[in-house]
């Protein structure tokens, strides 16, 4: 199930919602004020891993051994 990010046009609240599909006709309401005047917000992709000098230094999720 995809997660969509929304912003309320009435109170400005930003929130995420899980939808079964992009075509889902389910009404989306703001969890703060209950308004249906919401719009999909632009999502910023997440960033993971450690960075060193602008390149990813380790792509493994395994723990490193201390030495």
- The domain spans of the chain are 1-43
pLDDT per residue of the chain (67 residues) written in tens, 0 to 9: 678 899 999 999 999 988 776 555 568 899 999 999 999 987 666 655 555 554 444 444 555 555 5
Domain at 1-43: CATH code: 2.20.28.10
Total-model pTM: 0.55
Residue 57, sorted as left (phi over 0), alpha (psi -120 to 50) or beta, turns out to be alpha
């Amino acid at each position: 199930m995809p997660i969509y990010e929304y912003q309320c046009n009435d109170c400005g609240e930003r929130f995420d919602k899980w939808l079964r599909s992009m075509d889902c006709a389910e009404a989306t309401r703001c969890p703060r004020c209950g308004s249906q005047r919401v719009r999909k917000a632009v999502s910023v992709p997440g960033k993971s891993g450690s960075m060193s000098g602008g390149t990813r230094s380790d792509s493994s999720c395994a723990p490193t051994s201390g030495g």
